[in-house]
Copies of this chain bind each other. A is one copy, B any other.
């Protein structure tokens, strides 16, 4: 920490003008090699650092990206959700690789102005939204006039905003094909029914079932988003079921973990009696027992892509949405 409080003071000590110091420290503009070295050494010795706020005001950029996690109806739902937390971590890494800071905000979307309010404050240069959930319309509207925004989530035709997410339909198809290959014939789909992403995954499953002539057998097991509630939902439904499925596609890894617990509670062996496959590729999936077979969305890669696209939009480019290739990861639950 420095005892010098601003550039002016530092310039006096260095015996040059503030302009020269600024140039020397930022590396921009012409300064003699000698001065630059002298200034740099002095700054290091005194621990001087230019004030970021003042610089931001002058340069009209903050070098900060806002990451927004819209909390859905279930207000408490995301607090400890492994998906959002994991994604945030990856984004933090990707952003800091490019010299950007990450301003984290969890917002309860209220009305249709929450995004505008956030943007208007000028605290950030750009925005990343994790998950469209119920806010698809708001995001879509804002995207028409605010460019530096990239969203993690699904992609629908005609969509204006730039999103990154896995090919959910393909991923769903991948999951169900794997179960069929493993010999499953009575298939269930477990998970939330809301949100564009889950819907697409289910569509992928249905399509393959139709092609295979198994569509009659599909059992739907709707559940809440939140882990604890999901477990209860699934257990209640499986408990009273006429014929137990022999394979379950879960809409997310979190749901899949709930499914595993529910089956465990009912004393049903996985993968012996029922096989289970998740969706996301969260690290935690490898840590449960049995380790979870899943469709990997390559979140780290996705985070890198989001940041890359955002930086390009910041630079004035227009960018298209991107699909990430879903990858089957086979572990012990199938």
Q: What residues of chain A have their CB less than 8 Å away from a CB belonging to chain B? A: 1-2, 47-49, 51-54, 56-57, 62, 64, 78-80, 82, 84-86, 88-90, 92-93, 96, 101-106, 116-117, 119-123, 142, 145-146, 227-228, 231, 254, 257-258, 260-261, 264, 282-284, 286-291
Contact = CB atoms under 8 A, between A and B. Distances in A.
A1 B120 contact: yes
A29 to B, nearest CB: 21
Query: Ordered nearest first, which 9 A-B pairs have the shortest CB separation?
Result: A85-B85, A49-B120, A80-B283, A51-B122, A52-B123, A264-B289, A53-B56, A102-B104, A53-B57
A104 B105 CA distance: 10
Contacts of A284: 80, 82, 284
A48 B116 CA distance: 10
A89 B261 CA distance: 25
A70 to B, nearest CB: 13
A117 B291 CA distance: 42
Contact of A53 (B90, B103, B122): B122
Given A103-B64, A286-B228, A289-B261, A117 B49 contact: yes
A53 B125 CA distance: 12
Contacts of A92: 104-106
24 contacts: A1-B116, A1-B119, A1-B120, A49-B117, A49-B120, A51-B121, A51-B122, A52-B123, A54-B57, A57-B57, A64-B103, A80-B284, A84-B89, A85-B85, A101-B105, A101-B123, A102-B103, A102-B105, A103-B104, A258-B287, A260-B289, A261-B287, A261-B291, A288-B289
A122 B119 CA distance: 22
Contacts of A78: 89
Contacts of A52: 121-123
Nearest to A282: B80
A85 B286 CA distance: 17
A257 B288 CA distance: 7
A215 to B, nearest CB: 32
A112 to B, nearest CB: 12
Nearest to A102: B104
Contact of A104 (B48, B56, B104, B257): B104
Determine which residue in A78, A101, A231 has the highest number of CB atoms from chain B within 10 A of its CB, and name it. A101
Given A1-B145, A1-B146, A103-B101, A287 B88 contact: no
Contacts of A142: 1
Contacts of A90: 79
A20 B62 CA distance: 27
Given A1-B146, A62-B53, A85-B89, A96 B103 contact: no
A258 B288 CA distance: 9
A79 B53 contact: no
